[in-house]
């Protein structure tokens, strides 16, 4: 079983602060995805990273895939209350056909 460890598990910050969420594994993934989930809703795909070292930006969100494709990070600049939610990383190994989800990081951004 491949495991994805996310840190921190919970983060409470003020509007305007920056933050980074980490997703780590001892396994290599062919791709890694980040989702955001709001209470009572399903996860929504934010980004997929495929190439080691790849960096993708989505407005104030920056995603990076580690060179060895074992880890990833999500950096949010100038967080806003609308960024509040559960952030989940999920990896897919080429030998499998399903995603493995990390335990998630619950982000609370206060005005």
Instruction: Decide whether 27 or 78 has the Cβ nearer to other proteins.
Output: 27
What are the backbone angles phi and psi of residue 109, rounded to the nearest 5°? -110, 115
Binding residues (CB under 8 A) for other proteins: these are 30-31, 33, 35, 40-45, 48, 50, 88, 92, 97-99, 101-104, 106
Q: How far is the CB of 78 from other proteins (least distance, A)?
A: 26
Instruction: Decide whether 19 or 101 has the Cβ nearer to other proteins.
Output: 101
Instruction: Decide whether 16 or 52 has the Cβ nearer to other proteins.
Output: 52
* Residue 90 near residue 6 (C-beta atoms within 8 A): no
Q: How far is the CB of 90 from other proteins (least distance, A)?
A: 8
* Beta-bridge partner residues of 30: none
* H/E segment holding residue 95: none
Q: How far is the CB of 86 from other proteins (least distance, A)?
A: 8
Q: How far is the CB of 80 from other proteins (least distance, A)?
A: 23
What distance in Å separates the CA atoms of residue 21 and residue 53, rounded to the nearest whole number?
Answer: 17
The beta strand positions in 15-97, using DSSP E, are 19-24, 31-37, 44-49, 55-58, 61-65, 71-76, 85-92
Instruction: Decide whether 59 or 94 has the Cβ nearer to other proteins.
Output: 94
């Amino acid at each position: 079983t491949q495991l994805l460890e996310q840190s921190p598990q919970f983060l409470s910050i003020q509007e305007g602060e920056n933050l980074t969420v980490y997703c780590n594994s001892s396994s290599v993934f062919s791709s890694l995805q980040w989702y955001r989930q709001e209470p009572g809703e399903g996860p929504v795909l934010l980004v997929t990273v495929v190439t080691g070292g790849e960096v993708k930006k989505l407005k104030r969100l920056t995603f990076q895939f580690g060179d060895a494709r074992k880890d990833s990070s999500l950096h949010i600049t100038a967080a806003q209350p609308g960024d509040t939610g559960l952030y989940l990383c999920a990896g897919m190994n080429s030998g499998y056909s399903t995603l493995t989800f990390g335990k998630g990081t619950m982000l609370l951004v206060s005005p």
